[in-house]
């Protein structure tokens, strides 16, 4: 089974470029499942139903979120009934939406979990224990994908090692900068610290430089807008053994407009 996992899609440029790249390369690489982090899909903050539909139309089948989950109020209109979208599982009990979802790829059940880190990003419940609980509830599912949305490389590596041999893949999101450490851990879990970002290439993490620099230089509030211009696409292909769910390969797939 081949999974295509796409890093944080930022704004309209990210949505459009993701669509172009998927339409161009999906026929060639024939992924069985396409997952994307969509926490920045609408104007760089959160995701509306319109943006989610645009990603689904482009071929994305499942969407994960992160610290920007709640930035668009429209999400509350569909997160409870759209089984294709997951927000971090370690939010408190009673939070709208779901922290994991199960889909079928042919005859195989695939469990997708989203969790958020706590170092420099959130004060949620333990992501380690939240994932343990989900895995305990679903002992018969061997194809398990985890999007660990976190800032600190140490916390992400810790999660990779913590879950090695118990899930198929742990991919990091949130920093918007792809890391060069894709590997298969000794017990068969594919791992990468961060997938990177799909969206404007010449902004700062996808946002226009002007506002970001103004805030950094003046320490006064400044408006952030999604940047224009050249675009980039960051993702990995992960091949899983159909029987065991263990990873056979993880290959970064990056595209940049010149
Ligand atoms: Fe993001
Ligand atoms: Fe984030």
Name the band, by pLDDT with cuts 50, 70 and 90, for residue 85.
Answer: very high
Q: Does the annotation list 90 as a binding residue?
A: no
Q: How confident is the model over 175-197, as a mean pLDDT? A: 98
Percent of the chain past pLDDT 90, that is, above it, reads 100
What's residue 43's pLDDT? 97
Return the ligand number nearest the Cα of 44: 1
Name the residue range of residue 96's domain: 2-256
Q: Does the annotation list 257 as a binding residue?
A: no
Taking the centre of ligand 2 as the mean of its atom positions, its distance from the CA of residue 97, in whole angstroms, is 18
Return the ligand number nearest the Cα of 205: 1
pLDDT digits (tens, 9 = 90+) for 3-42: 999 999 999 999 999 999 999 999 999 999 999 999 999 9
- HEC sequence for the chain: CEEEEECCECHHHHHHHHHHHHHHHHHHHCCCEEEEECCCCCCCCCCCHHHHHHHHHHCCCEEECCCCCCCCHHHHHCCCCCCCEECCCCCCCCCCCCCEEEEEECCEEEEEEEEECCCCCCCCCCHHHHHHHHHHHCCCCCEEEEEEECCCHHHHHHHHHHHECCECEEEEECCCCCCCCCEECCCCCEEECCCCCEEECCCECCECHHHHHHHHHHCCCCCCCECCCCEEEEEEEEEECCCCCCEEEEEEEEEECC
**CATH assignment at residue 33:** 3.60.21.10
Tally of structural domains, the chain = 1
Taking the centre of ligand 2 as the mean of its atom positions, its distance from the CA of residue 243, in whole angstroms, is 33
Catalytic positions are: 68
What's residue 46's pLDDT? 98
Name the band, by pLDDT with cuts 50, 70 and 90, for residue 50.
Answer: very high
Taking the centre of ligand 2 as the mean of its atom positions, its distance from the CA of residue 119, in whole angstroms, is 13
Q: Does the annotation list 67 as a binding residue?
A: yes
């Amino acid at each position: 089974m081949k999974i295509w996992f796409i890093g944080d899609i930022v704004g309209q440029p990210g949505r459009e470029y993701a669509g172009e790249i998927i339409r161009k390369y999906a026929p060639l690489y024939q992924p069985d499942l396409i997952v994307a982090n969509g926490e920045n899909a609408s104007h760089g903050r959160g995701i509306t139903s319109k943006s989610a539909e645009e990603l689904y139309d482009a071929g994305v089948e499942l969407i994960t979120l992160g610290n920007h989950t709640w930035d668009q109020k429209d999400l509350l209109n569909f997160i409870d009934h759209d089984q294709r979208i997951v927000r971090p599982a370690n939010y408190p009990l009673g939070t709208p939406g779901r922290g994991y979802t199960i889909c079928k790829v042919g005859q195989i059940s695939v469990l997708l979990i989203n969790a958020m880190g706590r170092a420099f990003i959130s004060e949620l419940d333990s992501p380690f224990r939240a994932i343990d609980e989900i895995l305990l509830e679903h002992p018969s599912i061997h194809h398990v994908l985890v999007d660990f949305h976190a800032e600190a490389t140490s916390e992400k590596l810790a999660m990779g090692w913590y879950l090695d041999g118990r899930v198929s893949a742990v991919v990091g999101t949130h920093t918007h900068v792809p890391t060069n450490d894709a590997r298969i851990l000794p017990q068969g879990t594919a791992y990468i610290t961060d997938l990177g970002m799909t969206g404007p290439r010449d902004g700062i993490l996808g946002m226009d430089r002007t506002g970001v620099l103004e805030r950094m230089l003046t320490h006064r509030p400044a408006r952030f807008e999604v940047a224009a211009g050249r675009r980039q696409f960051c993702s990995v292909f992960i091949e899983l053994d159909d029987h065991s769910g263990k990873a056979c390969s993880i290959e970064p797939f990056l595209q940049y407009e010149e």
